[in-house]
Amino acid sequence: MTDEAGEGRRVAVLISGRGSNMTALADAVAEGRVPGARIVLVLSDKPQAAGLAAAKERGIETAVVERRGRSREEHEREMISELHARQVELICLAGYMRLLSPCFVEEFRGRVLNIHPSLLPAFPGLDAQRQAVEHGARVSGCTVHFVDETLDGGPIVTQRTVPVLDTDTPDTLAARILFEEHRAYPEALALVCSGAYEIVGRRVVKSSKQ
Ligand code: GRF
């Protein structure tokens, strides 16, 4: 599926920090592994986010919209106007460390993806890798899902698994999961950009629909 200029869906990536999933997406798009996508904006709520420099190095436009003591809705309204100003069609949350309010979700319903470092619905919320180690899970992984009003609870697009080793700490498990995150997110974005799926209840079902 492509836009009027034939160059792909206009994607924004929202970050707050390191941005390794953002660079994985950007590099996959640049290498032609995500047909039908182009990243038109990397938007951060933190001016010091390391991912901003990585985006600029790749020639991607960046913007920062800080919260600055405003209400969540006021902050998000400014973000929404930055996104609309670039005609953004799809949004990838990639280490964006704030919960989105229902007004943001409603504005982009079915068009916001998130990546989470566990096999949802296990271990939602913060510190998912530590939760997995402390719970004694033998398998963990990552999940790319659509964002709805629930915490890490929207329809699942893709998951990838990793073993949890007896010797794992939260950090060693996080590194193993991150490796898979960098594969899962481009795969999920490619599916969503292809339009070849339907959301049936909670399920994302592959279809031939374009
Ligand atoms: C990743 O583990 C992602 O799953 C979680 O936050 C982390 C962001 O890392 N939502 P990065 O900024 O993409 O490197």
Binned average pLDDT, 10 residues per bin, the chain of 210 residues = 63 98 98 97 98 98 97 97 98 96 97 98 98 98 97 97 98 98 98 97 87
DSSP labels for 134-162? HHT-SEEEEEEEE--SSTT-SPEEEEEEE
CB–CB of 83/43 below 8 Å?
Answer: yes
Residue 153: what pLDDT?
95
| Atom of ligand 1 minimally distant from the CA of 115 | 4
Distance 45 CA to ligand 1 centre (A): 15
Residues with CB under 6 A from ligand 1: 15, 17-21, 94-95, 115-117, 178, 181
For residue 207, the CA-to-ligand 1 centroid distance in Å is 29
Residue nearest to ligand 1 atom 7, measured at CA:
95
The answer to whether 74 touches 65, Cβ cutoff 8 Å, is: no
Q: How far is CA 146 from CA 4, 67, 92, 181, 205, in A?
A: 25, 24, 9, 15, 13
What was the pLDDT predicted at 1?
Answer: 43
Active site residue 182: no
Ligand 1 centre distance from Cα of residue 119 (Å):
14
Question: Whose alpha carbon is nearest atom 1 of ligand 1?
Answer: 95
